């Protein structure tokens, strides 16, 4: 957590994505989908390929913020980046 946090403070995309994963799965920190979404969005805004997918997936879990356009655009960006995730 400490290293992801320090990296996220410096806007390092992989660290932002890592923080998102921790909050999404409730590992080390309490599960918080809003925080996970915010970290994934920041990483996706920095064009981090894995974050596009994670951001789209977390949007699907939150009906209140889900929009088809946001999800589609992020899945499309993940595919265009050449990264496919399960």
CA angle (3, 25, 66) in 5-degree steps: 115
Burial label for 14, CB within 10 Å (0-12, 13-18, 19+), is middle
Confirm whether pTM is higher than 0.75.
yes
Q: What is the pLDDT of residue 86?
A: 47
Instruction: Say whether pLDDT at 80 is over 60.
Output: yes
pLDDT band (50, 70, 90) for residue 64: low
pLDDT band (50, 70, 90) for residue 79: low
Mean pLDDT of 52-66: 79
Number of H helices, E strands in the chain: 5, 0
Q: What is the pLDDT of residue 20?
A: 97
Q: How far is residue 23 from each of residues 32, 36, 54, measured CA to CA in Å?
A: 5, 5, 12
């Amino acid at each position: 957590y400490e290293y992801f946090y320090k990296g996220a403070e410096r806007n390092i995309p992989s660290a932002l994505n890592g923080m998102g994963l921790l909050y999404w799965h409730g590992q080390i920190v309490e599960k918080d989908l809003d925080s996970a979404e915010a970290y994934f969005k920041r990483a996706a805004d920095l064009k981090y390929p894995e974050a596009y997918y994670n951001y789209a997936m977390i949007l699907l879990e939150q009906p209140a913020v889900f929009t088809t356009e946001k999800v589609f655009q992020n899945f499309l960006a993940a595919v265009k980046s050449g990264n496919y995730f399960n």
